[in-house]
Structure 1
Amino acid sequence: MAGRIRDDDIAEVREKAAIDEVVSSYVTLRNAGGGSMKGLCPFHDEKSPSFHVTPARQFFHCFGCQEGGDVFSFLMKIDGITFIDAVERMAEKYGVQLRREDGPGPSSRPQGPPRARLIEAHRLAQEYYAEALAGPDAIVARQFLDTRGFDQEAAGTFGVGFAPRDGDALLKHLRQKGFSDTELVTAGLVGEGRSFYDRFRGRLVWPIRDASGDTIGFGARRIFDDDRIDAKYLNTPETPIYKKSQVLYGIDLARREIARASQAVVVEGYTDVMACHLAGVGTAVATCGTAFGDDHARVLRRFLHDHEEFRGEVIFTFDGDAAGQKAALRAFGGDQNFVSQTYVAISPDGLDPCDLRLEQGDPAVRELVARRVPLYRFVLSNVLTRYDLDRADGRVDALREAARLVSSVRDRSKVDAFTREIASTIGVDVDEARAEVRRATARGSRPESRGRSGTAPGQSGQSGQPGAAEPAGPPAPPVPDLRDPRFSIERETLKLVLHHPGLVGRSAKDVDADDFTHPTYRAVWAVLEAEGGVDAGVADPGWAARLRDRTTDPATSSALSALAVEPILSAKEPDTGYVHKYVYRLQELTTLRRITDLKSKLQRTNPVEHATDYNRMFGELVALEQHRRELRERAMGS
């Protein structure tokens, strides 16, 4: 096994891998001031952005879920890869040659091919398929594209290719490139039966790419009548790099336009995405062989920058048939995933974007999107078409079903607007509609959703565990909030030390762990001292990341990443005066605590019976008071 990667090479990769560039492949980031950028956290669902990236310190931190770290931590968390894989991926991207020391590598490396190998196999497969599309055996594939309105240039833009009908053509090609059968099966490119075979043989194939542009899978369409697999579309199975519930076709091409326009158009197929982009709707994406779900919504929101302060729009396109209406109902069920307004766009003729472009041209596709209507209005209209609203009983039944629909919406802030829409459309009093929605909500509440004792699911009464014995002794006091104003001096001082170690310099030479009253801040300072103190960070751009790597305590690690990305409180670039205001004030507060303790001891000491101790403590008190005044003067710059 190869030896471990040299530490100085890892440090070089960390320094060269621009964290804002890497994170922007997964999250739309906007300027947050103070040298920081922010966006919606990819690690938890949130409505307002609390995920910050600070390029100058190569750190990220989410103030919502407390995830944080450097570029390697980010990739390990979001892609589920190992530290070594993250280093190797960034080294390849940023042109760093990795050297390895003698001895075995990390024993914790998981079995199976690393992500880089799977990505490279897909890149070569995509190139192979694209070249095959120009060959004589691919005439049926080219004819299909032509009938759908896509020329050679369009095929090249989207990387469309052809998988030869030979059962193992790609397999042989990739074997020659040094890939093992195990790697190719793991990648989903090759199937295994009585022998190994090309999974997509004899099909027109679309490369499915992640937001950074790496090909991670394929969608393949049946084009020959004698294809032994009846399914019209065959997609890559679940693999270490391909999760269909989190993949959106076209996101690599659409992500920047989605962020710019604050709009996303969700269509139903690969050719619809192509048609939209070629017609000028550059925000179009599609799911890959599965319905649009919650995970897709979370991916889309990160690029849409979907939050209360910056609302956009999500537009779904559906066929006008029963399946399309069912899809609209399903989308409505996930409407609460978005802060942005949701719409639906359906052609009057029931044509999908690809057919619409073929029959009526590019302007018709753009007009389709422009004529969008609110999703809830479309769904409501489809529900009400099943009832005769001219009859009293029809209106009653329509109101009941519409109320059930509205009561299912988890975003309660939207319920009243939907209720008013019901009343207006059906022709009933709005109070009557509200009453019916309340009844539907009550009927929808299940008693099973609460435990026998009345506690919410996941809770277990007073003892913490069902049947568990009461813990011995009083519970430990909770750790104070790191942002409590009591610790503001400690927090700002640590930020200055991490952000500007050279500026802090010798002013912090007398600071020690006892100057920090919050246990987590004290632990941060202890890590800092163990790694050489403030001076060690002056010439080390990866200092904050190195400090974080040296701690195994989650609270300390989280605090380090938060402090590394949080802007300094100063409105301008801090100078030595600003540094002294905090560093010396921190020491002054420590001196004040010692003065308070000493005064308490003096009050408890009899000056006659214990004259020696009393006089010694009194002398210490005078010295401490003098030291406090000196620190105050330094803090004030005098």
Structure 2
Amino acid sequence: MAGRIRDEDIALVRERTSIGDVISETVTLKSAGGGNLKGLCPFHDEKSPSFNVSPARNVWYCFGCGAGGDAIKFLMDADHLSFVESVERLAGRAGIQLRYIEDDKGTPRPRPQQGQRQRLVAAHAAAVEFYRAQLSTAGARPAREFLARRGFDRAAAERYGCGFAPDGWDLLTKHLRQQGFTHQELVTAGLSRESRSGTLIDRFRRRLLWPIRDLAGDVIGFGARKLFDDDDGPKYLNTPETPIYKKSHVLYGIDQAKREIAKQGRAVIVEGYTDVMACHLAGVTTAVATCGTAFGADHIRVLRRLVLDGSAHSGEIIYTFDGDAAGQKAAMRAFEDDQEFLAQTFIAVSPNDMDPCELRLAKGDLAVRDLVASREPLLTYALRSIASRYELDTAEGRTGAMRAITPQMLKIRRWDLREQYLRELSHITGVDPEEVRVILKAADRANGGVVAGLPRPAKNISPALDSPESMVEREALKLALQQPVLAGPMFDAVEATEYRHPVHVAVRTAIAAAGGAASATGGAVWIESVRDACDDLASAALVGELAVEPLRIDGEPDPRYVSITMARVQFGSVTARVRDLKSRIQRINPVNNKDEYFAAFGELLSLEQHARALREQAAGGL
């Protein structure tokens, strides 16, 4: 496996990437004056443009939702790519050959088989066109009838790229070989396989096909449905594991659903390709399905990038399962794997054991939307499912239910959720809430008290950001981020201890951790290095905001403006210390504590002299 991309190459990608060109493919940008651009933010709904792009510094920031960064970060957010995927895509646009650090010595070398992915994706793209053309042939009539019986017309088939693998041993293989793909490439891609005689034949024959795409929209595999009774293969046959197709990471429909998933903060998990199609056509545009494997931890990580956006307490994951025993078992298995974001997990059980495709056929689009709307918390469903195995009208039954449910309750790590479901459990079992609490506490102590010992989160109270002192601190930070060559020495001379607002202190600390403003040359690389040095999301978001916010001066800043700004930052801090010291002196008894009194008085005189000097330095004002 290749290591990380060399830092110099990442910097070169940033340097050679026009952020305006990249963003304008998604956002309509107009001039905002001063060389900046403005448009409607693609990451939240708004009527007035608050999304700003600064081509000169190669950064963007939205004053509406707080998102921001460089071109790499924009692709990560807009197309839901990883950092490496985003860098590789921009490198491809700019014609840059990336190098990867492979060993402990940091020896850079080209990534092994760097062109392999492009070749495999190209082979799949050619296969999609071949299969789609075959769907209109006479031999594909059973495939067309299959789609029609499930309520999908020709437009739906084209929208999802449905195709047909014809009745021939090597028709696709010959077609792709004629296009220049090698024997090994077709085997590696999973499109062809070697027969017993050693000849190359097609992997899929006489089947209806769905192309499976990744987050970026590239086809990386196929799902194939059996159509003929004399086909002795499985009902569904998927592409085998390949360098680009990992079934535990793949979600069918994610390419079409990703923007709505991110926008709505919700993903609906269904069980098959036709269920995804039915949901999308019915208006549930956030539906996705696994491909030949159970929903697991890797799928959760994919969706976390879209739905939860790094937060453990936002967004929704909704499972749809049949209401039969198998569906209940699937729901319980999902619950076992899903503790990481239990609060956002729901289940929607379809009526009469119908999947979304069958439900749409029987009762229409509205019934599919109602199914999702009728969701309930997965843990509630799990508790009811366990309790339903016991006779709750008897004391023995209630005791048995409590014993069975308690292990599930102990997995809840958030105190607020645990308290909520304690009441839910009391309602389901008919056991008094206090008795339930006693049982859970006893079990918790036996389990080491892992859950009960968690403290409640403290409230975070911060001073106002719109005070005059805070606005001056904000201006100083903008100078360091936007004009580091100009502001560097003077800015770096004022320590983080001179800043009073906590988030400003955090950004000032991050600037120092990034090497200081005096060592920077500016631009997107500098901004990103400061963002990377931030210890929390609030300070990282503020860096993005300050990087594009105009300075509070007409024209270009000069050294005098920097000097005035830094003097005002220190003046606020010094005058605050003067006030504190005067208050302290008033509490000192000069008779009993003569030495302490005169030491404090001498310090006060020195601070007041320093304050007068700063006042004179800041006399030009803003």
TM-score range relative to shorter protein: 0.5 to 0.7
Letter in 1 for 2:193: G
Q: How does 1:28-47 map to 2 (within 5 A)?
A: 29-30=43-44
Residue 567 of structure 1 aligns with which residue? Answer: 545
Q: Measured at CA, do residues 557 and 344 of structure 1 come closer, stay the same or move farther in structure 2, by a change above 3 Å? A: closer
Residue 385 of structure 1 aligns with which residue? Answer: 388
Residue 368 of structure 2 aligns with which residue? Answer: 365
Counterpart among 151, 154, 174 of residue 153 in structure 2: 151
Q: Measured at CA, do residues 308 and 214 of structure 1 come closer, stay the same or move farther in structure 2, by a change above 3 Å? A: closer
Residue 544 of structure 1 aligns with which residue? Answer: 524
Secondary structure at 1:206 match in 2: strand
Give, in angstroms, the shift of residue 157 of structure 1.
1.4
Give, in angstroms, the shift of residue 437 of structure 1.
2.3
**Residues 13 and 90, structure 2, Cα contact 8 Å, conserved in 1:** no
Give, in angstroms, the shift of residue 206 of structure 1.
1.0
Residue 427 of structure 1 aligns with which residue? Answer: 430
Q: How does 1:207-218 map to 2 (within 5 A)?
A: 207-218=211-222
Letter in 1 for 2:215: A
CA distance in 2, matches of 1:516, 1:21: 42
Residue 468 of structure 1 aligns with which residue? Answer: none
The reply on whether 1:109 has 2:95 as its aligned counterpart is no
Q: Which moved more, 1:332-341 or 1:293-302?
A: 332-341
The reply on whether 1:191 has 2:178 as its aligned counterpart is no
Q: How does 1:101-250 map to 2 (within 5 A)?
A: 107-192=109-194, 194-227=198-231, 230-250=233-253
Residues 35-91 of structure 1, C-alpha deviations (whole Å, 9 max, x = no match): 987xxxxxxxxxxxxxxx977654589xxxxxx9743478799547589843344x2
Q: Measured at CA, do residues 523 and 22 of structure 1 come closer, stay the same or move farther in structure 2, by a change above 3 Å? A: farther
**Residues 524 and 556, structure 1, Cα contact 8 Å, conserved in 2:** no
Q: Which moved more, 1:191-200 or 1:304-313?
A: 304-313
Residue 288 of structure 1 aligns with which residue? Answer: 291
Letter in 2 for 1:125: A
The reply on whether 1:269 has 2:272 as its aligned counterpart is yes
Q: How does 1:307-456 map to 2 (within 5 A)?
A: 312-338=315-341, 341-444=344-447
Residue 606 of structure 2 aligns with which residue? Answer: none
Name which structure has the greater RCO, CA cutoff 8 Å, separation 6+. Answer: 1
Residue 534 of structure 1 aligns with which residue? Answer: none
Secondary structure at 2:110 match in 1: coil
CA distance in 1, matches of 2:279, 2:85: 38
The reply on whether 1:495 has 2:478 as its aligned counterpart is yes
Secondary structure at 2:381 match in 1: helix
Secondary structure at 1:264 match in 2: strand
Residues 486-508 of structure 1, C-alpha deviations (whole Å, 9 max, x = no match): 99988864533433x4xx886x4
Letter in 2 for 1:496: L
CA distance in 1, matches of 2:439, 2:130: 60
Gaps of 5+ in 2: 1-7, 28-40, 62-67, 98-107, 451-468, 497-507, 574-609
Residues 218-265 of structure 1, C-alpha deviations (whole Å, 9 max, x = no match): 22222233435x332222334443333333222222233334444432
CA distance in 1, matches of 2:242, 2:494: 51
**Residues 19 and 58, structure 1, Cα contact 8 Å, conserved in 2:** no
Q: Which moved more, 1:371-380 or 1:573-582?
A: 573-582
**Residues 333 and 409, structure 1, Cα contact 8 Å, conserved in 2:** no
**Residues 20 and 53, structure 2, Cα contact 8 Å, conserved in 1:** no
Q: Which moved more, 1:298-307 or 1:159-168?
A: 298-307
Q: How does 1:502-581 map to 2 (within 5 A)?
A: 508=487, 511=490, 521=511, 524=514, 529=519, 531=521, 543-545=523-525, 562=540, 565-568=543-546, 574-575=552-553
CA distance in 2, matches of 1:55, 1:219: 44
**Residues 220 and 235, structure 1, Cα contact 8 Å, conserved in 2:** yes
Q: Measured at CA, do residues 527 and 571 of structure 1 come closer, stay the same or move farther in structure 2, by a change above 3 Å? A: closer
CA distance in 2, matches of 1:34, 1:572: 18
Q: How does 1:57-96 map to 2 (within 5 A)?
A: 57-59=57-59, 70-72=70-72, 78-79=81-82, 81=84, 85-89=88-92, 91=93
CA distance in 2, matches of 1:54, 1:582: 24
Q: Measured at CA, do residues 488 and 125 of structure 1 come closer, stay the same or move farther in structure 2, by a change above 3 Å? A: farther
CA distance in 1, matches of 2:74, 2:547: 26
Residue 566 of structure 2 aligns with which residue? Answer: 586
TM-score (norm 2): 0.68
Secondary structure at 1:567 match in 2: helix
CA distance in 2, matches of 1:429, 1:306: 38
Q: Measured at CA, do residues 32 and 109 of structure 1 come closer, stay the same or move farther in structure 2, by a change above 3 Å? A: farther
CA distance in 1, matches of 2:429, 2:165: 54
Secondary structure at 2:412 match in 1: coil
Give, in angstroms, the shift of residue 562 of structure 1.
4.6
Residue 588 of structure 2 aligns with which residue? Answer: none
Q: How does 1:289-308 map to 2 (within 5 A)?
A: 289-304=292-307
Secondary structure at 1:244 match in 2: coil
CA distance in 2, matches of 1:400, 1:20: 59
**Residues 60 and 70, structure 2, Cα contact 8 Å, conserved in 1:** yes
The reply on whether 1:256 has 2:231 as its aligned counterpart is no
Give, in angstroms, the shift of residue 271 of structure 1.
0.8
Give, in angstroms, the shift of residue 268 of structure 1.
0.9
CA distance in 1, matches of 2:311, 2:191: 42
The aligned length equals 521
CA distance in 2, matches of 1:369, 1:592: 55
Give, in angstroms, the shift of residue 117 of structure 1.
3.1
**Residues 476 and 565, structure 2, Cα contact 8 Å, conserved in 1:** no
Q: Which moved more, 1:516-525 or 1:321-330?
A: 516-525
CA distance in 2, matches of 1:183, 1:130: 21
Residue 632 of structure 1 aligns with which residue? Answer: 618
Residue 576 of structure 2 aligns with which residue? Answer: none
Give, in angstroms, the shift of residue 162 of structure 1.
1.3
Secondary structure at 2:439 match in 1: helix
Q: Measured at CA, do residues 585 and 275 of structure 1 come closer, stay the same or move farther in structure 2, by a change above 3 Å? A: closer
Letter in 2 for 1:123: A
CA distance in 1, matches of 2:90, 2:401: 59
Give, in angstroms, the shift of residue 352 of structure 1.
0.9
**Residues 28 and 303, structure 1, Cα contact 8 Å, conserved in 2:** no
Secondary structure at 1:346 match in 2: strand
CA distance in 2, matches of 1:59, 1:117: 32
Residues 532-557 of structure 1, C-alpha deviations (whole Å, 9 max, x = no match): xxxxx6xxxxx3237869x9x98599
**Residues 121 and 184, structure 1, Cα contact 8 Å, conserved in 2:** yes
CA distance in 1, matches of 2:159, 2:350: 26
Q: Measured at CA, do residues 275 and 570 of structure 1 come closer, stay the same or move farther in structure 2, by a change above 3 Å? A: closer
Give, in angstroms, the shift of residue 192 of structure 1.
4.7
Q: Measured at CA, do residues 527 and 512 of structure 1 come closer, stay the same or move farther in structure 2, by a change above 3 Å? A: closer
Secondary structure at 1:266 match in 2: strand
Give, in angstroms, the shift of residue 353 of structure 1.
1.2
**Residues 346 and 372, structure 1, Cα contact 8 Å, conserved in 2:** yes
Letter in 2 for 1:403: T
RMSD between superposed Cα atoms in Å: 5.1
Q: Measured at CA, do residues 382 and 305 of structure 1 come closer, stay the same or move farther in structure 2, by a change above 3 Å? A: closer
**Residues 495 and 566, structure 1, Cα contact 8 Å, conserved in 2:** no
**Residues 214 and 254, structure 2, Cα contact 8 Å, conserved in 1:** yes
